[in-house]
Amino acid sequence: MRPERGADPVTTAGPVLYARSRALPQTITALAVTTLLAIWAAHALDSYLDPDRQVPVVALAPLFASAVIGTSLHTASDELDRTAVRPWWRRRLLHLLTLTALATALLPLAVLTSTQTFGPPAMIRNVLGCTGLTAAAAVVLGARLSWLPVFGYVSAMYLGIAGLRGGALPAWAWLLEPRTGGTAWTTAATLFLLGGTAYVIRGARPTP
């Protein structure tokens, strides 16, 4: 991190330093590994037999991806960052959108074969909703603990939803709504919009 005299000027370029300080290379690797694990899990669970078997993949992969994105929002030099002359919101926006776009592009690969129930649209919806929750949690709790609320939500839905199968699910159960479109998408998109906006404006809460 410390620029040395005579070092290659590229290494001191702002975007590269930013990416390094947010551990973005590790984050992208973690997202790629999550995708591979999700593909493997979808295959191992024989999910083509029964759409319900995809629930673990469609719920847990976005959860972990959003945890990865959320923890990447952490900065070790928060007070120093806030003294910068340039506005931070553009970088925050770019950071959040790039990683979310990457996750929404990668994770649906795990459910490509099933288009009827929990297909790529459901996966994208869940990535958006979970990331929105994580971004909001980063503002409130700090980036490193931002996985906790979404983790609690996904856990509770994962088991609790068994009693709600059949019929349309209420809006708060957007995570496991099998049909595409409707309130589930609206809820997830709203969550992403609200959480993303809060993060872009406020930034993650500084934590020790």
Contact footprint for other proteins (CB under 8 A):
23, 30, 41, 56, 60, 63-64, 67-68, 71, 74, 144-145, 147-148, 151-152, 155-164, 207-208
Half-sphere exposure of 68 (CA within 13 A, CB side): 23
- Residue 163 or 167 with smaller CB distance to other proteins: 163
Largest distance between two CA atoms of the chain: 66
- Write down the least CB distance from residue 114 to other proteins, Å: 19
Closer CB to other proteins, 30 or 135, in the complex: 30
Q: Whole-number minimum distance, CB 169 to other proteins, in Å?
A: 10
Identify how many contiguous H helices and E strands the chain contains and give both numbers: 8, 0
Decide if 138 contacts 73 (C-beta within 8 A).
yes
Query: 154-163 b/e with 16+ CB inside 10 Å = b?
Result: beebbeebee
Residues in contact with 90: Cβ distance below 8 Å, sequence separation at least 6, in sequence order: none
| Closest to other proteins by CB, 45 or 89 | 45
Q: Which is nearer to other proteins, 45 or 189 (CB)?
A: 45
Distances (CA, A) of 202 to 24, 100, 152: 20, 18, 24
73 alpha-carbon distance from chain centroid: 11
Minimum gap (Å) between residue 132 Cβ and other proteins: 17
Which is closer to other proteins, CB of 162 or CB of 201?
162
Do 33 and 97 form a contact (C-beta atoms < 8 A)? no
Please report how close the Cβ of residue 98 comes to other proteins at its closest, in angstroms: 19
* Minimum distance of other proteins from residue 71's CB (angstroms): 5
Which is nearer to other proteins, 51 or 121 (by Cβ)? 51
- Angle at which helices 147-160 and 55-72 cross, to 10°: 170
Report the nearest approach of other proteins to the CB of residue 153 (Å). 8
